[in-house]
Each structure stands twice: as C-alpha cells, then as structure tokens.
Amino acid sequence: MRLRKLKNSKELIDNSKYIVLNPSEYKGEWKKVFNNSNPIHIEIGMGKGKFILENAIKNPNINYIGIEKFDSAISRAIKKIENYKLDNIRLIRIDAEELSNVFNSEVDTLYLNFSDPWPKDRHEKRRLTHKHFLDIYDIILKNKLIIQKTDNRKLFEYSICSLVDYGYKIEKISLDLHKDSQDIVTTEYEEKFMKIGPIYMAIYKK
C-alpha cells in the first residue's frame, strides 16, 4: 500500500541538503557531490530510508544514495535522515528507468530490497531484475555487484535465472536470511515480513 503524502513533503524535498534535485548534472562526477572518491552504493526503492540510513551510519567511508520515485516515501526518509549529521548520504527522486542519465560507471554496489514482484507475465519488463534493467545497471555499475533481498519466492527464482543468463555469478545465497545470519541491516518492510516467512537473499557478481 502506498504511503499517504505528507502535507509539507514538497517543502522537505525542495529544501533538504540531502536531496540532489538535478542529479543528471553530476553524471560521471558524483565525487564532487561527496567531496571524496569513496565507493558509491545505491538502493533502488529505498522506501522510508531505514536501510540506507543505518548503512551510512555504520560505514562512514562509503557513500550511499537512495533512489525513490514517490514523494510520500522520500519525504519520510528526509525527516529520518535529518536527525543525523551525515556527509555520506544523498537521496534522488527519480524512476529506475532514468538511472543511466544520472550515473556512468561509478556505482560500486546496487541494492534491490523488496522490489515490486510484478507477478503478471505482461508486466515482466517492469521487474527490476529483467534484462531491460540489467542493461541499465551495466551502464551505471563500475563493479558489477548486485545484492537482492525479497520475500517473494517467485521473484527470487526469476531473478536468479535472469541474472545468471545475463552473465552474473551467484557469490552468496540464502533461502532464509534471518536464520542464516545475525548482523543484518533491515528495511522497514523487512522488519514486518521477516516474522511471517523467510527472506531470500542473493549476492550477484559479474
């Protein structure tokens, strides 16, 4: 269910120092945004920002960029992030289709956390692990590393086939992440659904 829009969401988005309002201007030059050459990790569909915020706090020598297309989610992420003074996190309000207009072989790691499974066959091309998006990731990734988490078994199986067919190798896989590991940075969605069923995780490297 989509989040209700905050009354002051436009003001939050327009005035936050964590938002990059014209991201295409920095294509190939994201080190200027962060004033360093540290690795860049991006999360597509960051929701309310819990995952990317906690990673930024935990790893100050990595730059994190949250990608989100909905004002309702990104405004809530801003409110959460602005409780901290962090130099290694930025947010972008775009659709994943636009990523190749924003980055050029400068992203080290890409996170796909609980992406919409788009279960109907006619919507297959909308899945973030479809070849259409893998082509885009090939343009933006410097190190071809993708980390996926999902609670949807069919999407997970589809993604494994799609990425392996595209040339990725599976570096690590878990069919029940929270049973196999302890030190896990979770998303808001994950906190809820890990109590209902298993969380699937895979690390893909090309």
Report d(CA 119, CA 178) in Å as an integer. 25
Report d(CA 205, CA 157) in Å as an integer. 17
CB 206 within 8 A of CB 137: no
- Look up 116 and say whether it is catalytic: yes
Instruction: Point out the catalytic residue in the list 87, 95, 116, 135.
Output: 116
C-alpha distance across the termini of the chain, in Å: 34
Residue 102 CA: distances (Å) to CA of 61, 99, 130, 162: 22, 5, 20, 24
- Enumerate the active-site residues: 116
